[in-house]
Amino acid sequence: MWNILERHVPAPSVAYCYDLWERYQFDFVVTRPRHTRLGDFTAKPNQRERITVNNNLNPYNFLITYLHEIAHLEVHRSYKRRQPPHGKAWKTHFRALLLPTLNEQTFPASILSPLTLYSHNPTASTGTFLPLMQAIKNVDAPHSDLVMVSELSEGQAFRLQQKVFIRGTQRRTRIVCIERTSQKKYLVAAHAWVERL
């Protein structure tokens, strides 16, 4: 487990993440990239809890996702299924798990500032807090030909997963986009990286 964490989380947080794993003894799996989630927590009767995190996340996003899922585990063990998945109990546990990592040894200042703001009232997805999502994405090798959907103007065309879309109006954290060939409407995350056409 130590070796897995060393490859995926910032070096100053490896011991902390390992201690959490030792304390809770859950199954941990680093998975292939998934489009719909960064990680997940599963609890089945008479089995060890399981946490998965996508293998394509940068170390900072991986750490945040790992702690997010451990917060679910803590809530599950404390309250079983009586709590909403991202309700008050989860927010309290997640905030407490994040606190030891909120320092410049673990996160660069560009992420630490929005992460600290986000930690005051965390949401189900870091993607809903655009300043944090943008800071995390900017750490990934920035590609000059890629932009966030939110940076495009309405009516502008872009490519995402080999399909061409037209940017529409924004609905909170997602943007209504029309796939050019089928004319079907899709909701695309505002922070999704796309190729401008």
Per-residue pLDDT of the chain (197 residues), as tens digits, is: 889 999 999 999 999 999 999 999 999 999 998 877 889 999 988 899 999 999 989 999 999 999 999 999 999 998 866 777 888 988 999 999 999 999 999 999 999 999 999 999 888 777 778 788 888 888 875 555 778 888 899 999 999 988 999 999 998 778 999 999 999 999 988 878 788 88
Residue 176: its H or E element: strand 174-179
Going edge to edge, which strands form the sheet with 27-31?
27-31, 50-54, 39-42
Q: How far apart are CA 155 and CA 166, in angstroms?
A: 6
DSSP secondary structure letter of residue 155: T
Domain with CATH 2.30.30 in the chain: 146-196
pLDDT at res. 143: 56
pLDDT at res. 60: 95
Tell me the CATH architecture of domain 146-196. Answer: Roll (2.30)
Q: Assess contact for 72 and 41: CB atoms under 8 A.
A: yes
∠ Cα 42 6 67 (to 5°): 35
**Under CATH, which number does the domain 2-121 receive?**
3.30.2010
pLDDT at res. 4: 92
* The residue type at 167: R
* The residue type at 192: A
pTM: 0.80
The backbone torsions φ and ψ at residue 11, rounded to the nearest 5 degrees and listed phi first, read -50, -45
Q: How far apart are CA 166 and CA 163, in angstroms?
A: 10
3-state secondary structure of 31: strand
pLDDT at res. 147: 80
pLDDT at res. 126: 77
CB within 8 Å of 23: residues ≥ 6 apart: none
Domain with CATH 3.30.2010 in the chain: 2-121
pLDDT at res. 142: 59
pLDDT at res. 144: 55
pLDDT at res. 137: 81
